[in-house]
């Protein structure tokens, strides 16, 4: 038992620097990576508004991450993405048609 505790402590000490450098979860890691690349922000590669299924899927994932973590960063990113495609009068940029 003492050996087991010693091994666990030793392993956690060895892994401490790595654990500090890594994000708290793979979901956070993936989300931060996508945000750093500006993915799913409602803009195409030329910076023009685009209504995109993929952007919506990323934003849905960020919403779930926001609900779990309460981290406002994710909410703000979603809001920015929506503001990029929805005009102040509520209409949507481009040729998007509500069916
Ligand atoms: C929220 O998430 C961002 C991006 O991962 C991170 O930089 C920030 O420290 C987080 N804020 C809190 C309060 O955890
Ligand atoms: C909403 O605003 C845009 C940009 O000003 C305009 O082109 C569009 O006609 C407006 N739509 C409505 C329903 O007012």
C-alpha of 65 from chain center? 7
What's the mean pLDDT in 38-48? 93
The backbone torsions φ and ψ at residue 65, rounded to the nearest 5 degrees and listed phi first, read -65, -40
Residue 14's pLDDT is 47
Residue 23 CA, closest ligand 1 atom number: 5
pLDDT bracket for residue 1 (50, 70, 90): very low
Residue 32 CA, closest ligand 1 atom number: 5
What's the mean pLDDT in 64-93? 94
Q: In this predicted model, what pLDDT tens digit does every residue of 14-34 receive, in sequence order?
A: 444 555 566 679 999 999 999
Closest-CA residue, ligand 2 atom 8, reads: 91
Contacts from 19-28 at CB under 8 Å and sequence distance 24+? 27/61, 27/65, 27/68, 28/65, 28/69
Contacts from 33-38 at CB under 8 Å and sequence distance 24+? 34/58, 35/73, 35/77
**Is the CB of 35 inside a 6 Å radius of any atom of ligand 1?**
no
In the chain, what are the domain boundaries?
A: 24-99
Residue 85 has pLDDT above 90, yes or no: yes
């Amino acid at each position: 038992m003492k050996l087991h505790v010693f091994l666990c402590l030793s392993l956690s000490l060895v892994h401490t620097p790595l654990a500090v450098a890594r994000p708290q979860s793979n979901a956070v890691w993936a989300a931060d990576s996508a945000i750093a690349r500006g993915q799913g922000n409602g803009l195409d590669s030329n910076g023009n508004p685009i209504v995109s299924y993929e952007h919506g899927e990323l934003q849905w994932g960020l919403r779930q991450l926001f609900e779990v973590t309460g981290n406002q960063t994710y909410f703000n990113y979603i809001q920015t993405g929506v503001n990029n495609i929805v005009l102040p009068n509520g209409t949507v940029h481009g040729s998007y048609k509500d069916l």
